Amino acid sequence: MIKKFSIKAPFKPIFLSLLLTGTGSSALIVKAGSMGKIDYSYARHLQQGIKGKVTDGTNPLSGVTVIVKGSAKATSTDASGNFSIDAKVGDVLTFSSVGYEPQEVKVVGATVSVQLISDNEALEEVVVVGFARQKKVNLTGAVQAISSKDLEDRPVTNVSSAIQGKFAGVTISQNSGQPGKDNGTIRIRGLGTINNANPLVIVDGIESSMNNINPNDIENISVLKDGPSAAIYGSKAANGVILITTKKGGNGKPQLNYTGYAGIQDPTRLPNYMDSYDHAVILNEALTNEGKAIRFSEADLQGFKSGSDPDKYPNTDWLDLLYQGSGFQQSHNLQVTGGTDDVKYMASAGYLGQKGVIKIAASDRYNLRTNIGAKVSERLNLDLGLAYNYQRIDEPVNPYTGDMAQIFRQSNRIPSFIPYKYSNGYYGYYGDGNPIAWLDMGSVDKMINKHTQVNFSGEFKILEGLKFKQVVGFQPIDNLSSKFVKDIQYYDNTTGAPTSKQGPNNLTVYNFQSERLTFQSLLTYDKKIGQHQLNVLGGFMDETFKADYSSSYRQNFLNNDLSEINLGDVDGQRAEGGAKKLILRSWFGRVNYVFADKYLLEANVRHDGTSRFLGTHRWSTFPSFSAGWRISQEEFFANSGLANSISEFKLRGGWGKLGNQQLAATTDNNYPTDDSYYPGVFVISPGYNYPFGGVTNPGGAIVNSANPVLAWESTQSTNIGFDLNFKNNLGIVVDYFDRITDGVLLQLPVSSLYGLPAPTQNAGKVQNNGIEVQLNYQGRAGELKYSFAVNGSYINNQIKQWKNTAAEPNGTFYVYQQGSPIRSFYGYETLGIYRTDEEYKNSGVKGVNNNVGAGDLIYKDQNGDGKIDGNDRVYLGSPDPKYIFGLTSNLSYKNFDLSLFFQGAAKVQGYLWGEAIGSISGSDKPTDIYADRFNANTNPNGSMPRALTSWTQNSPSSTPSDFWIQNASYLRLKNITVGYTIPKRFVDKIGIKGAKIYYSGQNLLTFTGFAKGFDPETPADSRGNFYPQVKTNVFGLNVNF
């Protein structure tokens, strides 16, 4: 209340200040004759400290940011909602807090009382789920979502890289940095099968591939992790579901946006190999240990050491030759949005260009997308989505194996004492060949991938709350590969005479085409009556997938410049092809019920039929149930002290059944030549000719073992969790999950007399369980805004049943064994290194061969039978991490912003073998890990086994052991971005709405105890023959027109 009064007293300001102290009132000095124009000068001079309290009308609010508008003065409220700030009467205070509408209050006294109004935006936030959107507060399943803001200003080339570390429970391994083929392997809540373990990817409501999407086109991404949330997708959802929604148009004039960047790529980590001198020394030492003649004389060693004769004593750094310079990467994207109340549109065009860190390797990707929505009438809405992806990939290959992997393998193997080129220009070569010469020749596999996606839908409002929607999706894919391998002739560098030749030159042409046609019919009913909210969904889906491929091969072309297929020799030519057709039909439904915004119930069911299986096993039903309780909405909670600090507290839990119908390596984009596409029927293959009547007649033969009673893999998923949001802007989400996959499709052993491969059967059971935690916090201090998001997961994977209880070897050092993870290292447990021959003799344990002695590994005799053999192998660890985590931090101050994103994994093992450590045979080069090898005379306490050219006792391949297993846990600075938004006063002068420049770095730092020079994310069993992980540094520009 404001009252006018007059007073006669000396020193009026001081008198009034003393008189009103402690009353919460203030006085303003008004000069006579100037009513309507107030003079604040005395009050401003006297009142320097303003105090106040902020509430939500009932309870005090802590952490509310209070700012003196137009200044840098700021503070925040304490636990009781109180604050104090240096301000004057007439100043304007702004109050802001997440979950509440901001307010501005003008100071008219020494104290201020403010009531903030709840911002319904948080309550109204919706998340994309199966065939619908739901309010986040009403979710009962394990669903996590991110928006386009989480993907901005990062030099990612694909969606899997963009979401790595963003979702709790989602493991993404970035195995390669190859241009065009750098997509990660995604596992949601662990590995539940040896067959297809990839999540289902849905783009704008239709199954698709995330590899064909421009990350700049994405509006949001949701991950459905548990049975209750994913059961609506039935037989394809056993490994989780990723829902991607692309950007749409909006009301208003056309808005044009450009985003682009340019920068360079380099390998993250490279191994260090011994130089020629050290390699020659260790090779002589190994030969001596084996009682053989040394290979290099003392004069040879001095020649390598001095490097005086590069032809005779070269010291070639093969990796330096392989990785010549950085790879250039650039991205440019244009997007326009706009529309009216009746028509909205979005159109985008994007280009991504990548030059590899090795010669030839490159990729160019072009993306076009448009989304149009039209309100035809008050009842009818139409939507059309068109997307086209065109990508060219160049992949170097070699004449020895015809692939790219051998180029990396040979570069990591060929000794440094072999020259790349002699002084006369002839190539040096050794063993499998010269990898850099292969690159010089220019053998290349040129791939062109074209992917089109057309989505059309119409939604008709039948009655209030009742809608029918028809969706049609069509996706044609056309992939072409033309691989021309050039031959190479090596020469004697002294005589010039031809020596070894690798060839012949040859051309292989692949053509793969597929079509996916999807029909969806959806009927939804949504009604709210009083405190009851009901949503019902019923639907039918028909999906037909057809694919065919052809392949042709010819060799012995006239020269390496003529690469048309008709110019090759007909002798040795090959032609083959194949086709497949898969049909899936489904009925599904869902019921959501909410009472009083407190009690949440959801039930889903889906009935799927597939053409893969036969008879009664063709169809299967996948139900789910879940419930939630918003405790924070209860009256008893509101009346408790917890309501002062907690804004949302929800318990939820559910159960669901899911399925899987795909065997290993039978993804839809594979060439359809694998009989496992149809494991329930016999397959007759042509090409089995037979003699009759004195001539050879064409014929066919059964090539697989059909199992007519084969059924789906079945996954039962249970989830219990809670969501907790505090009024200080801290949010916590915790989930416990348990997932059991039964009837895993396996091939059981059969007698060799059977004559066919073993039939596929439902014979395995796998369990995954664990805990996921998400933490989010955001706040503000003056003009400094900050937010933090942390997620972490513990995932335990275990085989519960596998054919029988005995261990089944799987490759060189893996095993399938009941009680262990699906991917388990299997080998010998080591106890150290024998330091003397007598120590070995006195051990009473026979080694794996007869030449064990000082410097060799000591293996534990697990069964005590006095000898080391296969019965002594045990579980040694897994390459799949038990812990995964991610941390995102965003800071902004005025026009500057900083983003840091860390990602990592823990309790994960890596295995060193092959090119990861090298060998001392003379045909391979050793890494510097052997510098600390055992030598009875010079290094009796060495940490590595003694030098040998031919291993058995110490071999990481023939005698795998925990000696070669290392901790592959890591923490990686996945991304750092520093940006500056150009002030409006500058951009206005050039006629644009906004502009931002930024620097972004990807994979810049890695903290790990793993083997020096090898990336912990690369495949555990293939180190040394993969395109390396890359780190990226770019500068970018965003402009809004």
Q: How far is CA 648 from the centre of its chain?
A: 31
Percent of the chain with pLDDT over 70: 91
Give DSSP secondary structure letters for 822-867: SSEEEEBPEEEE--SHHHHHHH--B-SSS---TTSEEEP-TT-SSB
Q: Which residues are within 8 A (CB) of 70 and not within 5 positions of it... i.e. 6 or more apart?
A: 92
Higher-confidence residue of 734 and 121: namely 734
Percent of the chain with pLDDT over 90: 57
pLDDT band at 668 (very low <50, low <70, confident <90, very high): very low
Q: What's the pLDDT score for residue 44?
A: 43
- Interhelix angle 298-306/276-289, nearest 10 degrees: 160
Q: CA-CA distance, 597 to 630, in Å (whole number)?
A: 7
pLDDT of 521 higher than 90: yes
Overall fold of domain 12-121 = Immunoglobulin-like (2.60.40)
- Domain boundaries along the sequence of the chain: 12-121, 143-250, 327-560+582-612+619-828+880-917+956-1040
Which tokens belong to 846?
A: 């026979």
Q: CA-CA distance, 184 to 159, in Å (whole number)?
A: 9
Q: State pLDDT tens for residues 906-938.
A: 999 988 887 778 888 778 889 998 999 999 999
Q: What residues pair up with 105 in beta bridges, in sequence order? A: 93
- From the list 477, 305, 427, 450, the residue with the least C-alpha distance to 365 is 450
From the number of C-beta atoms within 10 Å of its C-beta (0-12, 13-18, 19+), residue 378 rates as: exposed
Q: State pLDDT tens for residues 194-231.
A: 888 889 999 999 999 888 899 999 999 999 999 999 99
- From the list 336, 338, 344, the residue with the least C-alpha distance to 382 is 344
Other residues' Cβ atoms within 10 Å of the Cβ of residue 906 = 16
CATH class of 327-560+582-612+619-828+880-917+956-1040: mainly beta
Q: What's the pLDDT score for residue 915?
A: 76
Average pLDDT over the chain, rounded to whole?
87
Q: CA-CA distance, 95 to 428, in Å (whole number)?
A: 74
Residue 547 is which amino acid? A
What single DSSP character describes residue 818?
A: T
Length of the chain: 1041
pLDDT band at 754 (very low <50, low <70, confident <90, very high): confident
| Residue 1035 DSSP SS3 | strand
Q: State pLDDT tens for residues 388-412.
A: 999 999 999 999 999 999 999 999 9
What single DSSP character describes residue 371?
A: E
Q: State pLDDT tens for residues 607-621.
A: 999 888 777 888 999
pLDDT of 1039 higher than 80: yes
Q: How far is CA 698 from the centre of its chain?
A: 48
CATH class of 143-250: mainly beta
Q: CA-CA distance, 217 to 151, in Å (whole number)?
A: 10
3-state secondary structure 541-564: EEEEEEEEEEEEEEECCCCCCCCC
Q: Which residues are within 8 A (CB) of 489 and not within 5 positions of it... i.e. 6 or more apart?
A: 498, 501
Q: State pLDDT tens for residues 77-103.
A: 887 889 999 888 888 998 887 667 788
Q: State pLDDT tens for residues 571-601.
A: 989 998 888 888 999 999 999 999 999 999 9
Which tokens belong to 318?
A: 């093969």
Q: What residues pair up with 519 in beta bridges, in sequence order? A: 472, 542
Distances (CA, A) of 726 to 98, 495, 730: 10, 82, 5
- What is the rounded radius of gyration, in angstroms, for the C-alpha atoms of the chain? 35
Rounded to two decimals, the pTM is 0.84
Q: Are both 143-250 and 327-560+582-612+619-828+880-917+956-1040 of the same fold?
A: no
What single DSSP character describes residue 231?
A: G
Q: CA-CA distance, 1016 to 1018, in Å (whole number)?
A: 6
For β-strands 808-810 and 814-816, DSSP reports them as: antiparallel
What single DSSP character describes residue 282?
A: H
pLDDT of 31 higher than 60: no
**To 5 degrees, how large is the angle CA 1013–CA 1019–CA 1023?**
45
pLDDT band at 38 (very low <50, low <70, confident <90, very high): very low
Q: CA-CA distance, 129 to 232, in Å (whole number)?
A: 9
pLDDT of 323 higher than 70: yes
User: Does a cis peptide bond (omega within 30 degrees of 0) precede residue 504?
Assistant: yes
Q: CA-CA distance, 833 to 831, in Å (whole number)?
A: 7
Give DSSP secondary structure letters for 663-692: -TT--TTS-TT-GGGSTTS--EEE---EEE
Q: State pLDDT tens for residues 111-122.
A: 888 988 776 555
Q: How far is CA 557 from the centre of its chain?
A: 42
- From the list 362, 358, 328, the residue with the least C-alpha distance to 1028 is 358
Other residues' Cβ atoms within 10 Å of the Cβ of residue 756 = 13
Q: What residues pair up with 600 in beta bridges, in sequence order? A: 594, 628
Task: Look at the block and give the residue holding tokens 């912990």.
Answer: 1016
Which tokens belong to 921?
A: 């045979």
Which tokens belong to 886?
A: 């991610």
